[in-house]
Chains A and B, each alone.
Chain A
Amino acid sequence: MYKILISTLLLLTVTVPSYATNFAGSIKNLEGQVYVKRNSADIPGDKGMKIYIKDTVWTGSDGSVSIILLDNTIFSLGPDSELALDEFIYEPANKHFSMLVRMMKGTFVYLSGVIGKLSPESINIVTPVGTISVRGTRFAAQVAPNQMTINNSPATTNSTE
């Protein structure tokens, strides 16, 4: 009985992480102010830093950063930009793919990876003004900060000073 329990536990520890892991990619290059918002804490970005599902990557007025996801999709962000990785599934062996990314504001360059080639319909890139669908491609986007963000920003600046 114990043997079965132990082997089941072993099996769980071996198999579960490969499915339950939220690891989605890492920071390749960065310059200036770059932060990763994770569980509502802002962590300073770093070369090679791992990016997880539900992370939001954002840059300050002098910042820029590029992220390579596990399937080789690349997002590059210019200054004052914000990108949220809501969903990412890359299981080529099961042909199971999903990517949901929100470009909230700023400038971006997107470059397709393996998902973009094998299953472009699994990619959803959402902005406040519309949704972008891709077919094996690269594009640049500027997303204006919305009215709410403009009105809010002086207040946040004051409170931190």
Chain B
Amino acid sequence: MKRLHNTLYLLILLILSGCCSPKNVFVLLPDQDGEVGEIAVSNKEGSVTINTAGATISTTGKNAPKEVRPLSKKKFQKLFANALAIEPLQPQSFLLYFKSSTTDLQESSKQLLQEVIKAIKQRNSLDISIIGHADRTGSKSYNITLSTKRAKQVSDLLVNMGINPQYLFVDSHGEGNPLIPTADNISEPKNRRVEIIVK
């Protein structure tokens, strides 16, 4: 008797919650910069690919995945509001360039620091990587020292602009990780850089 009761209760619950609406849904969304990629959902029964924003796939797992009518805006919001609200902005990278053999920033890179501060504030970032690099002018060990100094210089500038040093992670790669690979002792402005990654 109790079991029957439970079954009835479950049935009512199912009807109230909309028993026949799809339970497993996959909705393609635009990236944070507005571009739309592609997803495919596959199982033993088949596979389907979607490539337009809002396109929706559903499957029970026992049938082949298929494209279905997109959820209403209201329903989509109801389902995903919490996950969307907690989604952070994607980490942002910056490249700052230096004058040859110095820790002096190029003028345009100095101005970029304001953008870095903005990105840190937007994200409430507690994780900011600063990685120094050098080109291949001079010896390897000289370039390790130089790239370390460059990273330290950028770190100091950010601290002066009010960023908590606790959240800055400073590292340097010397001449070993060039943007543009060159032969030894070649001056390459694009490799004289500090990369900042704001997570």
Contacts and interface: CB of A to CB of B under 8 A. Distances in A.
B26 A132 contact: yes
Interface in A94-140: 107-109, 111-113, 116, 127-140
A127 B26 CA distance: 11
A142 B91 contact: no
Interface in B140-199: 177, 199
Interface stretch (B81-89, B98-106, B111-119): B81-89
A134 to B, nearest CB: 5
B69 to A, nearest CB: 15
B72 interface: no
Given A66-B86, A74-B90, A137-B31, A132 B199 contact: no
Contacts of B76: 140
A109 B39 contact: no
Contacts of A112: 31, 37
B42 A131 contact: yes
B82 to A, nearest CB: 4
B40 interface: yes
Contacts of B87: 66, 74, 76, 109, 111
A127 B24 contact: yes
Interface of B: 23-32, 35-43, 59-61, 65, 76, 79-88, 90-91, 126-127, 177, 199
Interface of A: 26, 28-31, 47-48, 64-66, 68, 72, 74, 76-79, 81, 93, 107-109, 111-113, 116, 127-144
Contact of B84 (A76, A79, A143): A76
Contacts of B40: 132-133
Contacts of B25: 141-142
A31 B37 CA distance: 29
Contacts of B31: 111-112, 136-138
B82 A78 contact: yes
B61 A129 contact: yes
Contacts of A74: 87-88, 90
A29 B43 CA distance: 32
Those 6 A-B pairs whose CB atoms lie nearest each other, nearest first: A137-B37, A129-B61, A144-B23, A130-B43, A78-B83, A78-B82
Nearest to B6: A154
Nearest to A32: B82
A142 B39 contact: no
B28 to A, nearest CB: 5
A78 B83 CA distance: 4
A87 B61 CA distance: 23
Nearest to B84: A109
Nearest to B36: A137
A139 B65 CA distance: 16
A141 B26 contact: yes
B42 A138 contact: no
Nearest to B88: A28
Contact of A64 (B27, B28, B32, B86): B86
